[in-house]
Amino acid sequence: MTSVSVMQDKPVWESDGRGWPNREHSRFVRAGGLRWHIQEAGSGPGLLLVHGTGAATHSWGGLLPLLAEHFQVLALDLPGHGFTAAPEPTQLSLPGMAAAVAALTDELDFAPEIVVGHSAGAAILARMCLDGRIQPRVLISLSGALLPLRGFAGKWFSPAAKLFARSSVVPRFFAQGARKDPRSVKRMADGTGSRLSPEGIALYRLLISYPGHLAAALNMMANWDLEPLLCDLPRLQPRLVLVAFGDDRTVPPHEAERAKTLLPSAQLRVLPGLGHLGHEENPRLLQQLIVERFRQSPSPF
């Protein structure tokens, strides 16, 4: 029996979802040809949460209930991530992901007034806004990966991701490593500059131990092209709030400064002492910032 048949390809809700954060707010819906795992909580203005590459709704575990005190919150597992079904690999591009999330919000008749995206999730939300699929008052980018990588990393990243995505061995190899060595997942999290709780590490380990989840993340990176977003970002309509984390080793604060040069009207806030997963480290601080920025954004009515 091969390692693929030993390990389930994707997390299974009936077993892996038993201890999932905010499980009581979870349900499954069909939209755009996919079966989605979503979480809904609270009442008030609509707020959409989109996580980054390789994560899932667990990333908002501490923040979602805090935001639900002020908003009607919708969070989702991106296509192929967590408990959401995977589309064809070529659809895991920025336009493809934006269209998929838009199909979900259309199916739910959910028109958010505020959208919050982490890392690649911020790029997805920006693309949705630019394509006219959503019209929020404010877009909050948490350590947003909005611009193409520069230098050696930019030249190396896409070809390497394409190479890894073409191989079924690579996801299985890393999934086996996560299962055998819990410390490997902690080292990965530490490498982002964040210090997560043991519970947070365990959730990432759960996801990474499934080749299907890893394959979706790799295919997403392989199909990612931020050059069109770079050209289009200056015409973004919602107020853009760029939140950078001072200790972020994945998307350092100077990347937010680069984005602000393209859109000088954007607000920039650097939060010291937090890494790339700062919203997981200090959800209360992020709740206060999000509520404050929304209240400062003018209503279109």
In contact, 129 and 237? CB cutoff 8 Å: yes
> Which residue would you say has higher pLDDT here, 36 or 90?
36
pLDDT value at position 7? Answer: 38
pLDDT value at position 4? Answer: 33
Compute the CA torsion angle 274, 253, 52, 60 (nearest 10 deg).
30
> Which residue would you say has higher pLDDT here, 296 or 152?
296
Burial of 168 (0-12, 13-18, 19+ CB in 10 A): exposed
- pTM here is 0.92
Within 8 A by CB and 6+ apart from 21, the residues are 57, 58, 60, 61, 62, 64, 203
Distance CA 224, CA 230 (A): 13
What is the tens place of the pLDDT at every residue in 146-175?
A: 999 765 444 445 555 555 555 566 666 566
Distance CA 198, CA 153 (A): 30
Distance CA 47, CA 75 (A): 9
Burial of 146 (0-12, 13-18, 19+ CB in 10 A): buried
> Which residue would you say has higher pLDDT here, 285 or 298?
285
pLDDT, averaged across the chain = 90
Backbone φ/ψ region at 63: left (φ over 0), alpha (ψ -120 to 50), beta:
alpha
Distance CA 82, CA 194 (A): 21
Instruction: Tell me the domains of the chain and their CATH numbers.
Output: 37-117+130-295 (3.40.50.1820)
Across residues 94-119, what is the average pLDDT?
A: 98
What is the tens place of the pLDDT at every residue in 193-238?
A: 999 999 999 999 999 999 999 889 989 988 899 999 999 999 999 9
